[in-house]
Amino acid sequence: MLEQQLLNALTLGSVYALFALGFTLVFGVLAVINLSHGAVFMVGSYVALALITHLQASLWVAMLGAMLASGIVGLLVDMLILKPLRARNAPHLIPMIATIGVGIMLTSAAQGLFGAEVLRFPEETLPAGEFVIGDVHVRALEIAIVAIAFLLMAVLFVALKRTQLGRALRAIAESPKAAWLLGINVEGLFHITSFAAAALGGIAGVLIGLNFNAITPFMGQPMLHKGIAVIILGGMGDIRGALIGGLFLGFAEVISKAYLSSQMGDAVAFGLLFLILLVRPSGLFGRKLERKA
Amino acid sequence: MEWLTANFGDFWSTYSTLVFSVGVHAMLALSIWLTLSCGLLSLANAAFMGIGAYVSALLTLNLGWSFPAVLLAGGVAPAAVALLIGAPVLRLSGVYLAMATLAFGEVVRITVLNLEITGGPEGLNGIPLSTEGWHIALLLALTIYGLARLRRSKVGRAFEAIKEDEVAARLMGINVDRYKLLAFTLGGFIAGVAGALNAHFTFFISPREYGFENAVDILTMAVLGGVSDLIGPMLGAAILTLLPELLRSLHDFRSLVNGAVLVLVVLFLPKGIWEPRRIRAWFQRMIGGRA
C-alpha cells in the first residue's frame, strides 16, 4: 500500500507547494505575510464551481476563470489596501492584520452567497478514468492535478530565473529601494506579483476542490496553516524552499496519517515546525539570516 | 426604582454572558498588549488561555479545588509554560516569533484534541458556573491597575526602550532577554486567568476555542482599539465582542462587517480607534470652534 500512499502524498504535496509558492512570493517581494491567501484559495474553487454549474463551462475554462478571478482579488487587495499602507510606511504587523480582515470578508461573503454546506463539482465534469500499475490505482484526476501543479511551478521558475521581469522581481526582493533607484517600476511589479500569487492560490483551490470534491467557505483556513508550515519549512520568501517544503509536508501528512493517528500527525508536524524555527529560523533550506542591528 | 431593577434583571439574564465575554476579552487584549508593549508579536495567547481554561476546569471537576485556587492555578500553569518555552522562542524576532508562537499554539490545540483527560474533540462538559460578574470586574480592575503601575515603573520603561530599539536598549545595560521573558510570562498569566474565568461561566470548553482564529482575534482586538495605552485594547475587545451581536440581522454576512471594520481601521486609523493625541486634538477643535 506504500506506493498508493506515495501517490496520494505527491498529489497533495504538489498542490501544497503551488499554494505556498504564491504565499512565499508575496512575502519575498512585498515583505507581507498575506493571511488572506487561504480565503483567495477558497474563492478560486467557488469561482470554478460557479462557472461549471451556472455557465456550463468546461473544466479548463473554469480553471482559467478561477485563476483570473482570484488574481483580480489579489490585485485589488494590493491596490486598495497594501499600497496605501506601503505609502505610509506602516510597520509589518499592520498589512498582515489588514489581510486578516480581507480573509474574514471573503469567507463571510462566500458563506452568505453559497451557504455553509459542502458543495461538490458535478460528477461528469471530473476527468474520469483510472489506470492500474502493479497494485496502484492511479486516477486520471490525480495525474491532471500533479501535471497542472508542476507545469505552473515550472512556468514560474523559468519566469523568475530567465526573464527580465523575474530579474526585476529578484532585485526588489533584495531591496525595493535599490530596485527603484535602478529604474525598476516597483509598484507595477508589486501589482503583478500580487496578481500572480493570488492566481496560483486560486488554481490550488480548484485542484484541492477537485481532489476531495468538497468545497466549503472554511476550506481556506486549514490550507493557510499548511501554507505557513511550508514556508517556515522552506525558508520564508524562498521559492525553491516552498516547492520542497510543500512536497515534504504532503509526504509527512500522508505517512503520519497512515502510520500514526490521523490527528496526532498534525501535532507532530507543527511540533517539528516549532523546533525547526528554534534551531534554524531561516528554514531547513534557507540561507542563514543576517542579524540586523 | 423597582422598574429599573426589574428591567435590569431582564437585561442581565439575557446579556450577562455577553457582558462577561467583554470582560474576559478585555483581559485577553490586555495580555497581548503587554507583550506588544515590549515589542514582541506573540500569537501564543489563545493557547495560554486554553491551558488556563483546561487546567482550571480539570482541577474543579476532578479535584474539587476552591474557585480562587483554581483561578490562580489557571494563571500559573500557562505562565510556567511561557517561562519554559520563552528562553528559546524569544530569541526569534518579528515575523519569525509570530510564526513560532503560532506553531506552538497549534501543538497545544492538537494535543488537547487528542488527550484522554481533556475529553478530546468533545471537550469538557458540566463545568460549574462559579464565575460571577464581580469576579471578572475585580480581576479586570486588578489587571488594569497592575499594568498601569507597571507602565510607569522601571520595568515599563525598559519594555518601551526594548520596543523602540532593542540594540540601543541592550547597550544602555538593560537585560533585554530577561525583560522579554517577563513580558511573555506575565502575558501568559493574564491570558490563563482569563481562560479560567471563561471556562467557569460557559459551562463547556473545547479545543476549537483556542486555535489560530482565536489567537488572531485577540491580536485584532488590541490593534483595532489601539495599543498606545490600556484603554485601546479594552475598547477593541468590547467592539469586536458586541459588533456580531448588533449585526445579528445580517445572518451569514455579519462577519463581513467585522472584516470590513478591521480593514478600514487599519487603513484610516493607523494607531487604532483609541488614540489619545487625536482625541485630544478633536476636543480642542470642538472647543475652539465654539469660541
B184 with B98: CB under 8 angstroms? no
Closest-CA residue of A relative to B213 is A221
User: Considering only alpha carbons, which residue of chain A is nearest residue B216?
Assistant: A100
Give the gap in angstroms from C-alpha A133 to the nearest C-alpha of chain B.
Answer: 37
Determine the distance in angstroms separating the CA of A60 from the nearest CA of chain B, rounded to an integer. 31
Q: Which region, left, alpha or beta, applies to residue A235 given φ > 0 means left and ψ of -120 to 50 means alpha? A: left
A166-175, A271-280, B182-191, B265-274: segment of lowest average pLDDT: A271-280
**pLDDT bucket at B1, cuts 50 / 70 / 90:** low
Average pLDDT, chain A: 86
Q: Which of A29-33, A133-137, B7-11 is predicted with the least confidence, judged by mean pLDDT? A: B7-11
Whether residue A157 is predicted with pLDDT greater than 50 in this model: the reply is: yes
Contacts of A262 (CB under 8 A, 6+ apart): none
Q: Quick one: how far is CA B136 from the chain centroid?
A: 13
Report how far residue A86's alpha carbon sits from residue A279's, in angstroms, rounded to the nearest whole number: 32
pLDDT at residue A284 is higher than 80: no
**Inter-chain CB proximity A105 and B263 less than 8 Å:** yes
Residue B11, class by beta-carbon neighbours within 10 Å (0-12 exposed, 13-18 middle, 19+ buried)? exposed
Write out chain A residues lying below 8 Å of B262, CB-based: 97-98, 100-101, 104
CA distance B278 to chain A (A): 17
Please, how many CA atoms are within 13 Å of residue B280, restricted to the half-sphere of its CB?
3
Q: A241-250, A267-276, B108-117, B209-218: lowest mean pLDDT where? A: A267-276
Best A85, A99, A100 residue to mutate vs chain B (most B CBs within 10 Å): A100
Is B114's CB within 8 Å of A261's CB?
yes
Any idea which of A265-269, B58-62, B93-97 has the lowest mean pLDDT? A265-269
A131 strand-pairing partners: A138
Q: Which of A260, A278, A280 to mutate to test the interface with B (most CBs of B within 10 A)?
A: A278
Q: Between A and B, how many residue pairs show a Cβ–Cβ distance under 8 A? A: 121
Which residues, 6+ apart, have CB-to-CB distance to A188 below 8 Å?
none
| Residues of B at the A interface, defined by Cβ within 8 angstroms | 41, 88-89, 91-92, 94-96, 98-100, 102-104, 106-107, 110-111, 113-114, 167, 212-213, 216, 219-220, 223, 251-256, 258-263, 266-267, 270
Distance CA A198, CA A94 (A): 20
Kindly list the residues from chain B whose CB atom is less than 8 angstroms away from the CB atom of residue A90.
Answer: 266, 270
Mean pLDDT of B51-71: 94
Give CA angle at B148 (B142, B154), nearest 5°. Answer: 125
User: Which residues from A are below 8 Å from B217, CB to CB?
Assistant: none
Contact, A143 vs A126, CB < 8 A?
A: no
Is A132 strand, coil or helix?
strand
Tell me which residue in A97, A102, A271 faces B107 most closely, judged by beta carbons.
Answer: A271
| Contact residues, A window 70-109, toward B, CB-based 8 Å cutoff | 81, 84-85, 88, 90, 92-94, 97-98, 100-109
Residues 6+ apart with CB under 8 A from B49: B28, B78, B191, B192, B194, B195, B198, B210, B214, B218
Of B95, B104, B259, nearest to A102 by CB-CB distance is: B259
By percentage, how much of chain B surpasses pLDDT 90?
46
User: Can you give the pLDDT at residue A105?
Assistant: 92
Interface test mutation site (partner A, options B92, B213, B220, B262, max chain A beta carbons within 10 A): B262
pLDDT confidence of residue A263? 64
ipTM over 0.85: no
With an 8 Å Cβ cutoff, is A284 touching chain B? no
Is A100–B216 a contact, with Cβ atoms under 8 angstroms apart? yes
Taking only residues 105 to 124 of chain A, the set having a beta carbon closer than 8 angstroms to any beta carbon of chain B reads 105-109, 111-112, 115-116
Query: Does A267 sit within 8 Å of B111, measured CB to CB?
Result: yes
Distance CA A104, CA A112 (A): 12
Is the CB of B267 less than 8 angstroms away from the CB of A98?
yes
Nearest-angstrom CA–CA distance, B89 and B109: 18
| Interface with B, mutate which of A76, A83, A108 (most B CBs under 10 A) | A108
- With beta carbons less than 8 A apart as the criterion, state whether B227 and B33 touch: yes
- The overall average pLDDT reported for chain B is 88
> Does residue B90 or residue B9 have the better pLDDT?
B90
Q: Which residues of B touch A107 (CB under 8 A)?
A: 255
Contact flag A112-B251 (C-beta cutoff 8 Å): yes
- Residue A119 pairs in a beta bridge with A215
Q: What angle do CA A257, A263, A266 make, to 5 degrees?
A: 80
Chain B residues whose CB is inside 8 A of the A94 CB are 223, 266, 270
Residue B7 has, within 13 A of its CA and on its CB side, a CA count of: 4
Report residue B271 as a C-alpha cell. Answer: 494607531
Question: Which pLDDT value is given to residue A292?
Answer: 40
pLDDT band at B211 (very low <50, low <70, confident <90, very high): confident
Residue B5 has pLDDT above 90, yes or no: no
Mean pLDDT of A249-276: 75
Mind listing the pLDDT tens digit for each residue in A201-238? Answer: 999 999 999 988 899 998 998 888 888 888 888 887 78
Query: Which residue did the predictor score with more confidence, B58 or B89?
Result: B58
In chain A, what residues touch B44 (CB-CB under 8 Å)? none
The per-residue pLDDT for A291 is: 42
In 3-state terms, chain A is what percent helix, strand and coil (to 5)?
75, 5, 20
Using one digit for the tens of pLDDT, what is the confidence trace for B145-201? 999 999 999 999 999 999 988 999 999 999 999 999 999 999 999 999 999 999 999
Strands (E), A15-91: none
Whether A228 and B102 lie within 8 Å, measured CB to CB:
yes
Residue type, A10: L
pLDDT in tens, B230-270: 999 999 999 988 888 887 777 677 778 878 888 998 888 88
